[in-house]
Structure 1
Amino acid sequence: MDSHQFCGYGVNGRDSSYSSYPTVSGASKFDSGNSPNSPLADYFNSETFTTVSDYQEQHSCTENLSAASSSRDSLLDYNQYFHRPNPSQDCLPEGPLVFSSGTSLLQNANHSRNMKQLESALVDLPLQGVPSGNLKQLLIACARALAENNLDDFEILVAKARNVVSVTGDPIQRLGAYIVEGLVARKELSGTTIYRSLRCKEPAGKDLLSYMHILYEICPYLKFGFMAANGAIVEACRNEDRVHIIDFQIAQGTQWMTLLQSLAARPGGAPYVRITGIDDPVSQYARGGGLTAVAERLSAISEKFNIEVEFNAVPVFAPDITRDMLDARPGEALAVNFPLQLHHTPDESVDVNNPRDNLIRMIKSLCPKIVTLVEQESNTNTAPFFPRFLEALDYYHAMFESIDVTLARDRKERINVEQHCLARDIVNVIACEDKERVERHELLGKWKSRFMMAGFQQYPLSSYVNSVIKDLMRRYSEHYTLVEKDGAMLLGWKKRNLVSASAWF
């Protein structure tokens, strides 16, 4: 079984539950049985591949790139990347997302005033030199005033910004709504409180999964990053009789459905597969059930495709994992998966013990056949506040722009996705410091340095998989980009790289 057989994505044009954006066959249950006539589509059907959406549902950064309400210690709490449930009675109220400053992001939802009001708001700015009508520069001026401790200027600038941001506006207006709250939270030293308040004690699992499905459908660079990782695992283990997958964010386990189906179809017969699923002990709320739910799902796929699968649940926070918990056994081809998760593990800038590099070295000591890494391509780890703000502004602006291509601005689903899957991380990056700042992304070059210092070599991603992904991304929009760099893959929007995928051995 080679990677050519594995990568069976296809894009269909049929309207789904959210008909304003295209769907990728097998990427979620939005497309039920409408795969295109592709020789690869057999391996990516709607029943077995919800992968990225579920996968990331778990990654909301111990607070993570997800944003808004989530379980008290749910995915967002610790090591999740994108998952958010609807607020419950113990959370922020449904509808307006209210921050500690007492403002509602929806109170300015009417954006008909758009540019005229912005131009008016920018009159007589306190010597900031902000071009009239330029909200992005106004936000930068707010951050600069805060960085320089010019609090009087900051209050004036933020007040003006509040009048023109809108969760139903253009990309910079929508992003600005969350950035303003992050800046105010930083000024009031309430970032951690807000970050923690943006999660629920008992999130509504179905709503959360719906947000995650939508997010991964409308942001294909996230989904295809996971596709690249799966392709690398299949290729590295193509001749192995026993395969052990260690997933550092198992979520619902759906990333592995298509992979198992692919392995089951190998001409030489299916290998014995063991999956160790790591997930924090409290994210069952976001998953809609504990790790037993993952075991049941894998058991069903095992029976359906006649492939032996053993599942071992490890309900532990990733930085607390020990070698013994992973139970690596002789004779197994070990594949380790880090899905938008490793950036949540602190490094030497936060903890002198450097848990991030220690975890990478511990994995290397297990002699894995392959290690896959998917991460946001952003530099927010050690950067001081102001340059970190500029980086976050650029990164999320590109992301919000890309969302416009596939989901209309007035759609409630889009508001929910941005509010529940992105806002929380934005606030964390802007308002929090030290151990309270858990969104600590690094660029591919830095990850490469960390892995090589731990003794890893790069495992080139499949050129075939890359070509398939590039073709599929073009079907979403010509502005999506794929750059192959030193054997890795960078997925992005226009000139901004957003996600990196790489493999190591």
Structure 2
Amino acid sequence: MHNTLCCQPVRKLEAYSLQQCQPLNPQHSTYNNISNENGYYCTLESSSLSVGYTSYNTPSTVSFSPNESSLSQQESHSYPADYCFNGPYVTEDVNELKHKLKELETVMLGPDIDFLETCDNVEIDSWRQIMDAIPRGDLKQVLIACAMAVSNNDFLMAQWLMSELRQLVSVSGEPLQRLGAYMLEGLVARLSSSGSYIYKSLKFQEPASFELLSYMHILYEVCPYFKFGYMSANGAIAEAMKDENKVHIIDFQIGQGSQWVPLIQAFAARPGGPPHIRITGIDDFRSAYARGGGLNIVGRRLSKFAEKFRVPFEFHGAAKSGCGVQLENLGIQSGEALAVNFAFMLHHMPDESVSTENHRDRLLRMVKSLNPKVVTLVEQECNTNTAAFYPRFLEVLDYYTAMFESIDVTLGREHKERINVEQHCLARDVVNIIACEERERVERHEPLRKWRSRFEMAGFSPCPLSSLVNATIKTLLKSYCYRYSVEERDGALFLGWLNRDLVASCAWK
């Protein structure tokens, strides 16, 4: 999210022209202009690809062009048949193109003997599975087939499947239909080599700060992801600091500062009185936008709360991204017991697979040099960092299906803000993971086993979590759906939905 994004130019296909596929009716389009009583929220509608399919009229769509600096509204119209799309280069060999068209024709009309004699049996089975999945409306299998086509640079197959997917996805449908809408946009963006451009455009098309904050707050309240992470981290810090008189907490992504409100309250009730607490908050541009101002807003809020509970308190803000943080920004003072919090933050740091600077490991080594009493880590239990595109797509499909299902249970489809919550809090990450690469791909999650290796290489050792905190978290989950679970294993806590781990939390020293 912090990186400068760019769009690489792409070559026109000279062998044939492509119609720009307009979104279908509002029940089947991916990102629509979503209305509410106050007007319209403009949402993503990337330039879709189609071969030989009819263009559809819509009241208003948003188009993306590598030559535009922002999203542009287009009036309702159908594109002529010779409208060319600046798509990725596929082939300039006419014979190869004819062969691909023959394959597509065979799939649609049925194979002939010559085709069967020249095709591999595995490929035939793959075609048959796709053809079986489409009439069944098997969205998951069609998504997977489309991702495979994109991975194999099978341009015609990918475009055909994208046109079929348009009929199956909906931002107001079942959980998989909603997720599929956003994953389809990621596939379209990747195939058109415009992933970075679309992701950048999304950042500049966010709603007003107070609206974005309200969407984040809804997600915070209806799903336990953040509460689980913050509560487990706070418990580890409170346990480590139970006998300290001066506590310094460095939060590498402080956001609204909400995590520290219950901890300040807990310290206020500590036998013998509260310690002196100092918090250093590292800023994040997205959080700054959502709260409508700088870190001084967080400082004032926490100071007022600490004063109410008579807790000695100081706040120090460092308005820098994680990549830019240096020792001098942290305000280290002697005589303080240090706690460092990495909550949903480290996966944004580029590692050795992206940059020789490797900020991910640099931050861990820097923190270790400060000799902290405890370091807390909270991350999504997802493996998208170094995985190649196709397995990464499958991981995103599995992980976010569980997440969208969990949202569906606690945030009904009649809720007027549900689409906005999913779009502005989750969809952009999905598009980034699927469509972008190298520095432009900033959502780079790792499972706990990989984080454990990084912490151990930096010199850390595991710090057991409090059994009291674990019990408190399990009590918290009773107010949510029974399908959520909390499991303690290998010195860490995992929040899961059915059989899928969603968030992992652990502590180090």
TM-score by length of 1: 0.76
- Any unmatched runs of 5+ in structure 1? 1-60, 64-85, 108-121
Q: Please report the RMSD computed on the Cα atoms of aligned residues, expressed in angstroms.
A: 2.4
Change (3 A) 1:136 1:239: same
Change (3 A) 1:496 1:349: same
Give the CA deviation at 1:410: 3.2
| Map 1:458-469 → 2, pairs under 5 A | 458-469=462-473
CA offsets 1:329-372 (integer angstroms, 9 cap, x no match): 22111010111010100000001222111110100000001111
| Map 1:50-449 → 2, pairs under 5 A | 61-62=1-2, 94-101=41-48, 127=127, 129-130=129-130, 131=133, 132-200=136-204, 203-280=207-284, 283-449=287-453
Give the CA deviation at 1:471: 2.8
**Distance in 1 between residues matched to 2:483 and 2:59, nearest whole Å:** 29
Change (3 A) 1:180 1:334: same
**Distance in 2 between residues matched to 1:417 and 1:377, nearest whole Å:** 21
CA offsets 1:387-423 (integer angstroms, 9 cap, x no match): 0000000000000011111111232211111011111
Is 1:377–1:443's contact at 8 Å kept on the other side of the alignment?
yes
The count of residues paired between Structure 1 and Structure 2 equals: 405
Give the CA deviation at 1:203: 4.5
**Distance in 2 between residues matched to 1:147 and 1:201, nearest whole Å:** 29
Change (3 A) 1:431 1:256: same
Is 1:335–1:371's contact at 8 Å kept on the other side of the alignment?
yes
**Distance in 2 between residues matched to 1:124 and 1:452, nearest whole Å:** 58
Identify the range of structure 1 (274-283 vs 395-404) with the bigger mean alpha-carbon deviation. 274-283
Structure 2 match to 1:11: none
Higher RCO structure, 1 or 2 (CA under 8 Å, sep 6+): 1
CA offsets 1:122-179 (integer angstroms, 9 cap, x no match): 9879815133331101100000011011111111111000111001111110000001
Change (3 A) 1:105 1:123: farther
Change (3 A) 1:193 1:272: same
**Distance in 2 between residues matched to 1:473 and 1:282, nearest whole Å:** 28
**Distance in 1 between residues matched to 2:165 and 2:343, nearest whole Å:** 35
CA offsets 1:191-246 (integer angstroms, 9 cap, x no match): 11111111237852221121011111222133211110011111110110000000
**Distance in 2 between residues matched to 1:98 and 1:298, nearest whole Å:** 40
The secondary structure found in structure 2 opposite 1:372 is strand
Give the CA deviation at 1:281: 5.6
CA offsets 1:242-296 (integer angstroms, 9 cap, x no match): 0000000111212111111111121111111111010036743211221111111
Query: Once the two structures are aligned, what percentage of the paired residues are identical?
Result: 58
Is 2:351–2:360's contact at 8 Å kept on the other side of the alignment?
yes
**Distance in 2 between residues matched to 1:99 and 1:150, nearest whole Å:** 20
Give the CA deviation at 1:297: 0.7
**Distance in 2 between residues matched to 1:202 and 1:164, nearest whole Å:** 26
**Distance in 2 between residues matched to 1:255 and 1:438, nearest whole Å:** 24
Max Rg structure: 2
Give the CA deviation at 1:95: 5.0
The secondary structure found in structure 2 opposite 1:353 is coil
The secondary structure found in structure 2 opposite 1:307 is coil
| Map 1:3-82 → 2, pairs under 5 A | 61-62=1-2
Is 1:97–1:106's contact at 8 Å kept on the other side of the alignment?
no
- Any unmatched runs of 5+ in structure 2? 4-32, 50-55, 62-106, 111-125
Is 1:179–1:426's contact at 8 Å kept on the other side of the alignment?
yes
Moved over 4 A (4+): 102-107, 122-126
Letter of the 2:413 counterpart: R
